[in-house]
Amino acid sequence: MSSFDAIRPYHDSEVQTVLQRLLQDREFILAMVRYSAAAPYIGKLPEDELVKLVHKELETAFAEIHDVHSVQQKLEPLLAQLLLQTTEAVTFSGLEHVPTDRPVLFISNHRDIVLDPALVNWGLFRNERETVRIAIGDNLLERPFVNDLMRLNKSFVVERSITARRERLASLTNLSAYINHSLKQDHSSVWIAQSEGRAKDGDDRTDTAIIKMITMSQRKAGPFPEVIEGLNIVPVAISYEYDPCDLLKSRELYATKNEGGYTKQEGEDMRSIMTGLEGQKGRVHIAFGETLEPGLETAQAVTAAIDRQIHTIYRLFPVNVLACQKLMPELDVSNLLSDFSAEELSKATEQLELRLQNTLEKKHPIMLDMYARPVLNYLAATNN
């Protein structure tokens, strides 16, 4: 038994066994009803009848799946349809900078629990690039069927629920070893977020703890700059014009700042996932950066290099600039506004006002800062 078995994605040889297990999971089948041909009959047929219909549909679909690649082939059109329904456009830039002759460690900003890595993989898949292995926290895998689905789709588990110091250190060391094993032995690229949680305030910053974790199993592999260079780190900036979870995030941020803390309700992560998936996002852009320059001596130097790229290549939308202008009227951002048409600015003004109307006035600065922060980071990174 490998030390990675508890956290690694499923192998091709395990796919059919896992699919058959999913077919016996009633909770999974009920979760799939809304995405199946049985969806129009919700509320019209007894639950047992719906389960039978979906089970038969899934059984037919699963019979055609024999490896991880075919899992992703089945998922791709579903993601494409979801994006068609919830975005105005999804665009990519910078893929020409991503090496094709060696595996890459993608480190990206983190705004949406599921969509961030899904969009990176979608861009790679549609451009006939090898998809990546995805780091995902075990706090999102409480339901067995969710754990199975994610690990079928090349996800590996970050064991965040471990709190005991010794066990957590062992877990992080094993995670570090797995990431490096993926890159160097399996020649598989990896995606990981720049910090443990989403940047709910819009301020995308790489946590040095992420870099220290990735390198902690490689202390005997050579000097720190050589270890970093061997990872082939490529920063990625994911920009959502509108965040479907902005109201939820502003509520949490306000409570944390002004009410002594915020306690998540049961099932809140799952609600955030569904809101992020199904909510309207406007335009979405995924910008791939360039491999980090060699010679970075410290974890702080690495995070600064990652942040500099993310802040520079992040696609600013009209709502970001308008929020910045409203939050900080003394700051001249007219040069950024000139990049947008009158129609774009009018629509963004309407959308921003709608979000503020749906938010208590005392939370307006938080909402505005969420959208304005990428502008402030861009100006700082480009010395404007």
Q: Is 74 in the same domain as 197?
A: yes
Q: Is 186 in the same domain as 150?
A: yes
pLDDT given at position 271: 85
pLDDT given at position 197: 85
Instruction: Please count the structural domains in the chain.
Output: 2
- 17 pLDDT above the threshold of 80: yes
| Percent of the chain scoring above 70 in pLDDT | 100
Q: Which of 287, 315, 343 is the last residue of a domain?
A: 315
CA 269 to chain centre: 13
Burial group, residue 51, by CB count within 10 angstroms (0-12, 13-18, 19+): middle
Long-range pairs of 34-43 with CB within 8 A, sequence gap ≥ 24: 35/78
Per-residue pLDDT, averaged over 66-72, amounts to 94
pLDDT given at position 259: 87
Q: Is 345 in the same domain as 249?
A: no
pLDDT given at position 213: 96
Q: Is 163 in the same domain as 92?
A: yes
Q: Residue 39: inside a domain, yes or no?
A: yes
Q: Is 310 in the same domain as 324?
A: no
Q: Is 281 in the same domain as 346?
A: no
- 4 pLDDT above the threshold of 90: yes
Distance CA 121, CA 109 (A): 15
Q: Residue 228: inside a domain, yes or no?
A: yes
Residue at token pair 């290099």: 305
- 161 pLDDT above the threshold of 80: yes
Label residue 361 by pLDDT band (50, 70, 90): very high
pLDDT given at position 269: 81
Q: Is 150 in the same domain as 247?
A: yes
Label residue 136 by pLDDT band (50, 70, 90): very high
Q: Which of 294, 315, 336 is the last residue of a domain?
A: 315
pLDDT given at position 236: 98
pLDDT tens digits for 280-295?
999 999 999 999 999 9
3-class DSSP assignment, residue 156: strand
pTM: 0.93
Beta bridge partner(s), residue 285: 91, 239
Q: Residue 5: inside a domain, yes or no?
A: no
CB neighbours (10 Å) of residue 321?
25
Q: Is 208 in the same domain as 339?
A: no
Q: Which of 261, 293, 315 is the last residue of a domain?
A: 315
Q: Is 290 in the same domain as 338?
A: no
Q: Provide the residue range defining the domain that includes 155.
A: 12-315
- 384 pLDDT above the threshold of 80: no
Residue type, 31: A
Per-residue pLDDT, averaged over 286-313, amounts to 97
- 252 pLDDT above the threshold of 60: yes
Q: At what angle do helices 364-381 and 299-313 cross, to 10 degrees?
A: 100
Per-chain mean pLDDT for the chain = 94
Q: Residue 7: inside a domain, yes or no?
A: no
Strand blocks (E) in the chain = 89-93, 105-108, 133-137, 155-158, 190-193, 233-240, 283-288
Per-residue pLDDT, averaged over 174-199, amounts to 95
Contact 155, 9 (CB under 8 A): yes
Q: Residue 98: inside a domain, yes or no?
A: yes
| Percent of the chain scoring above 90 in pLDDT | 83
Q: Is 100 in the same domain as 54?
A: yes
Q: Is 193 in the same domain as 46?
A: yes
Per-residue pLDDT, averaged over 223-238, amounts to 97
Q: How many residues does the chain have?
A: 384
pLDDT given at position 1: 53
- 270 pLDDT above the threshold of 90: no
Q: Residue 21: inside a domain, yes or no?
A: yes
Q: Is 309 in the same domain as 338?
A: no
Q: Residue 2: inside a domain, yes or no?
A: no
Q: Which of 31-40, 43-52, 145-154, 222-231 has the lowest mean pLDDT?
A: 31-40
- 267 pLDDT above the threshold of 90: no
69-to-11, 65, 72, 76, 126 alpha-carbon distances in Å: 11, 9, 5, 11, 13
Specify the CATH number for the domain of residue 33: 3.40.1130
Q: Residue 6: inside a domain, yes or no?
A: no
